[in-house]
Amino acid sequence: MTGPLSSRLATLCDEIVARVGSEAGGQVRHIGDRLHEPLRVAIAGRLKAGKSTLVNALIGRRVAPTAVGECTRVVTRFRYGPADRVDVVCRDGSRQSLPLDSDGMIPQRLGVPAARVAYVDVMLTSEKLQSLTVVDTPGLASTDTQVSMRAEEAVGTSTAPFDADIDADSAGEVAAAEAVVYVFTQAVRADDVRALEAFRAASARLASSPINALGVFGKIDTLVGGAEDPWPVAGPLAGQQAALLARTVSEVIPVAGLLAETGESGRLTSADRDALRALAHADDLGVLLASVDLFRTRPAPVSPEQRERLLDLLDLYGIGYAIAQLVDDPGLSTGELVRRLVAASGFPRLRHTLDDVLTWRSDAIKAGWALARLEKLAGHTGGRGDREAIRDAVEQLLREPGYHRLRLLEAAQRVATGTVAMPVEWEQELTRLATSEDPRWILRLPEAGVDELADAALEAANRWRVYAVAGAGPAQSRVAQVAHRGFYLLSKQVRP
Ligand SMILES: Nc1nc2c(ncn2[C@@H]2O[C@H](COP(=O)(O)OP(=O)(O)OP(=O)(O)O)[C@@H](O)[C@H]2O)c(=O)[nH]1
Ligand SMILES: [Mg+2]
């Protein structure tokens, strides 16, 4: 699970612990421990955007409450464990264990006043969590919320972007995530963009940039009326959002979260399938599916309770889609129907992106996170001797060629977020270099042999050096030097 950069960093942490005092040692050990854990992804977004629904889909179980009116007031972390267990972690550090409720969900009442809760730590046997830890967050606030200076001083983060009055401990738990999924619904407003910027400012250094942040355009099934197909609208809208948010997320993935949750958590039963098949024979199916109200109240070959359940599981688009599948193929098994519903939700693309892109990058993301933490410690921990020991160790590490990736990621992030302006082609080349190890992909020479690749890498290195000297201001120049060295190292990697 742990990649080469993180492993080396974990070793470095051990070495530092041996050299520094106990206070700094404890902090460094904590950083080192984190390097062995799976990638942590925080799910952020406005109130009722469908965050918890998506969390359940990712976990493959319905554990986080999502019903109307039940909102997420505390930060909840879902991670893999040998047995199901809910721990309420209090701000004074104490833990209280609770069982899951009879539906297998986190109980509504935590038994501790919300103000005393730092976060809820949920361990589940779900195998999906073996490679990913998911952090569910309270909805983001509108942007005029006052920054809590006290909280900011306490953990180096601001609680400002959250709508719920969350404390420094909870904010710290979110800021510790190495990657972020932002959930939007409908149009992205300027306000959303600002809320995200505030969230980004509150997150760890590498925790939010197009390198490791994804957008999800959620609830797409509610975009169009009734059971109509939302995809012709959702696709282009997601594209527009991606353009608006190009400095914040790498892509925007449209998803009908409810369908994904129902499908991935196995909630659709064969009785549900039978009810859907019965509905296929309703005389005025078109009218029935025109609105939720009509679906509830019109005469139909299925009981009102069962209809309510179907709305809960699939909403109108999902119901209409499932019925269409069953009209085409009345013998469809429940499993196959679920598979098609998940495909129609758009969820597989999100899963794939998380698994392949973020997990692949997670080695560098986590190593970058740890390095940023170490550098921060080197700035303010314990005695001067300890600070120097940490700083020396970090500097030595950064001189190793493999660690240039981290410098590259940082430089690419500064350009991608607009902190350093650069022509778009240079920006893209830098992003490719920072986020991949495949020279053919980086250099856009899919068929090239070793010599051609090495020459192209050297040519790029030279181009960046010229840019560093003659290109523009000092910020561009620093980025260009990092890219120059990156391409030089790439040429050596191709042709040692
Ligand atoms: N139709 C439809 N409903 C959805 C979808 N995703 C979520 N919902 C519903 O929207 C409501 C809110 O969903 P949640 O997942 O609780 O949203 P949240 O962002 O976690 O809400 P807070 O934690 O309160 O901020 C629930 O009733 C969900 O069933 C979707 O893709 N389609
Ligand atoms: Mg929620």
Rg (CA), the chain: 25
Residues 62-76: what's their mean pLDDT? 79
pLDDT of residue 196: 65
| Distance, C-alpha 392 to centroid of its chain | 33
Cβ of 257 closer than 6 Å to ligand 1, yes or no, is yes
What atom of ligand 1 comes closest to residue 312's alpha carbon?
A: 29
- The answer to whether the CB of 426 falls within 8 A of the CB of 434 is no
Nearest CA owner, ligand 1 atom 9: 50
Q: Alpha carbon of 318 to those of 165, 203, 219, 291, 300: distances in Å?
A: 35, 36, 11, 13, 18
The rounded distance, in Å, linking the Cα atoms of 28 and 12 is 10
Say yes or no to pLDDT of 25 above 70. Answer: yes
- The answer to whether the CB of 470 falls within 8 A of the CB of 450 is no
The rounded distance, in Å, linking the Cα atoms of 21 and 377 is 13
Distance between first and last Cα of the chain: 28
Nearest CA owner, ligand 1 atom 24: 71
Under the banding of pLDDT at 50, 70 and 90, the label for residue 95 is very high
pLDDT of residue 83: 93
What atom of ligand 1 comes closest to residue 222's alpha carbon?
A: 1
The angle that helices 359-380 and 4-19 make with each other, rounded to 10 degrees, is 20
Q: Which ligand is nearest to the CA of 318?
A: 1
DSSP assignment letter at 188: P
Lowest mean pLDDT among 90-104, 236-250, 341-355, 438-452: 236-250
Q: Which ligand is nearest to the CA of 45?
A: 1
Say yes or no to pLDDT of 284 above 70. Answer: yes
Cβ of 66 closer than 6 Å to ligand 1, yes or no, is yes
In testing the pocket of ligand 1, which one of 43, 52, 182 has its CB within 8 Å of the most ligand atoms?
52
pLDDT of residue 157: 41
Contacts 24+ apart (CB under 8 A), 287-290: 289/226, 289/227, 289/316, 289/319, 289/320, 289/323, 290/225, 290/226, 290/227
Residue partners of 152: CB distance under 8 A and separation at least 6: 158, 159
Lowest mean pLDDT among 395-399, 447-451, 486-490: 395-399
Say yes or no to pLDDT of 359 above 80. Answer: no
In testing the pocket of ligand 1, which one of 183, 258, 317, 321 has its CB within 8 Å of the most ligand atoms?
258
Task: Copy the structure tokens of residue 466.
Answer: 């010229």
If 0-12 CB within 10 Å is exposed, 13-18 middle and 19+ buried, where does residue 446 land?
A: exposed
Cβ of 169 closer than 6 Å to ligand 1, yes or no, is no
Cβ of 178 closer than 6 Å to ligand 1, yes or no, is no
Cβ of 219 closer than 6 Å to ligand 1, yes or no, is yes
Cβ of 256 closer than 6 Å to ligand 1, yes or no, is yes
Cβ of 49 closer than 6 Å to ligand 1, yes or no, is yes
Say yes or no to pLDDT of 239 above 50. Answer: yes
Cβ of 224 closer than 6 Å to ligand 1, yes or no, is no
Cβ of 48 closer than 6 Å to ligand 1, yes or no, is yes
Tell how far the Cα of 51 is from the centroid of ligand 2, in angstroms.
5
Helices (H), 190-269: 190-202, 231-244, 257-264
pLDDT of residue 172: 65
Cβ of 72 closer than 6 Å to ligand 1, yes or no, is yes
Tell how far the Cα of 136 is from the centroid of ligand 2, in angstroms.
7
Q: Which of 347, 350, 356, 295 is nearest to 320 (CA)?
A: 295
The rounded distance, in Å, linking the Cα atoms of 487 and 72 is 46
What atom of ligand 1 comes closest to residue 136's alpha carbon?
A: 20
pLDDT of residue 445: 94
What atom of ligand 1 comes closest to residue 45's alpha carbon?
A: 19
| The total number of residues written for the chain in this structure | 496
What atom of ligand 1 comes closest to residue 68's alpha carbon?
A: 27
Q: Look up the pTM and report it.
A: 0.82
Helices (H), 289-442: 292-297, 304-328, 334-345, 347-352, 359-380, 384-399, 404-416, 424-435, 439-442
The rounded distance, in Å, linking the Cα atoms of 299 and 283 is 10
pLDDT of residue 332: 96
Task: Copy the structure tokens of residue 266.
Answer: 């196995």
